[in-house]
Amino acid sequence: MSTTTMRVSQKTRNTLQELSKDTGMTMQDIMDRAIAAYQRQRLLEATNAAYAALKNDPEARNEMLEERAVWDMTLDDALGGV
Length of the chain: 82
Q: pLDDT tens digit string along 34-80?
A: 999 999 999 999 999 999 999 999 999 999 999 999 998 888 766 66
pLDDT of the residue at 80 = 63
pLDDT of the residue at 79 = 67
Residue in 40, 39, 61 with CA at minimum distance from that of residue 50: 61
Give mean pLDDT, residues 10-39. Answer: 98
Taking the whole predicted model, whether its pTM rises above 0.75 is answered as: no
